[in-house]
Each structure stands twice: as structure tokens, then as C-alpha cells.
Amino acid sequence: MSKVNSFLIPNVSSLPSDVQKAEKTNALKQGEKSEFKGLVDQLSQQDLRQPQVTEKQVGHDVNVSTHAMKRLQERNIELDGNEYMKLKEAISKLRTKGGHDSLVITNKAAYVVDVDKNTVVTAVDKNNMNENVFTKIDSTIFMM
């Protein structure tokens, strides 16, 4: 101990620091795998730029053609649960009104849909909708 201004100051260099305690507490036992590292490895193997839809069948009621899947990927359109529900509802409404080949417009994109087959035929992202001409459709629905 040393004395400064009549105070006794203990020698603290031998006490373990908070960092040393944390390292000891968080140290992995031999053969144990870090949960965090496992998640990082799993995410690094995925291509996060691709839309979350990876299979032809999006759900029980809406299918995506091979062409549409390619367009979704090229145009970075994510067909998430909300978008799926809009498409499902739109197909149902279009069917009751007699639609067959229809254009479904949402906040994210425009989809050409074959109502009879419950299939998305193609998709165009919001930014590229302005200059496009949609042909061979018999109905349009806005699902904003």
C-alpha cells in the first residue's frame, strides 16, 4: 500500500478486472460451439439480396410462375406475407367479377395474374411501372 495525502491506497493491480471476469464467464468449454457464431455462419451462407420467396408455390392459393420468380429476383421485389395476402384477396375479388388475366397493383409492385390458375405470371417493381404497357389483361385491381 502506498500513502497519498494521508489516505491509504490499496494495490489494485492484482485484482481481476471486469473484462477478465466477463472473459472467464463467457469462455466456451472445449467442443462447445457459440450460438452467435452459428447464426452468423448460417446468415453468411444465405444470399440476403434475394427475395424471401424461393419456391414456386407461395401458399395454398397463390402460385408463382418460373418467369415471375425470375422477375421478382431481378427486380428485387420481396413477396412477403402482406403482399401475398393482397394477391390472394385480389384473386378472390377478381374471380367473383369474372376476371381471367388481370393486373394487380400494390404499393410495392404490379403483378399480372392468371386468375383461373391462381398464378402470378410476371411482376414489375414500383419504380418501373410508369413506362410499362400491360397487354392481354381483362381487368385491373388496386390493392394499396
CA-nearest of 31, 39, 109 to 74 is 109
pTM of the shown model: 0.59
Q: What residues pair up with 73 in beta bridges, in sequence order? A: none
User: What residue ranges do the domains of the chain occupy?
Assistant: 63-143
Distance of CA 45 to the CA centre of its chain: 15
Residue type, 64: V
State residue 45's pLDDT score. 62
Angle 39-40-41 (CA atoms, 0-180°, nearest 5)?
Answer: 90
State residue 14's pLDDT score. 55
CA-nearest of 104, 111, 52, 46 to 76 is 52
Inter-residue contact 91 to 61 (CB < 8 Å)? yes
- Can you give the pLDDT of all 144 residues of the chain as single tens digits? 555 555 666 555 555 566 666 566 666 666 666 666 666 666 666 555 444 544 444 445 899 999 999 999 999 998 888 999 999 999 999 999 999 999 999 999 999 999 999 999 999 998 888 878 899 999 999 998
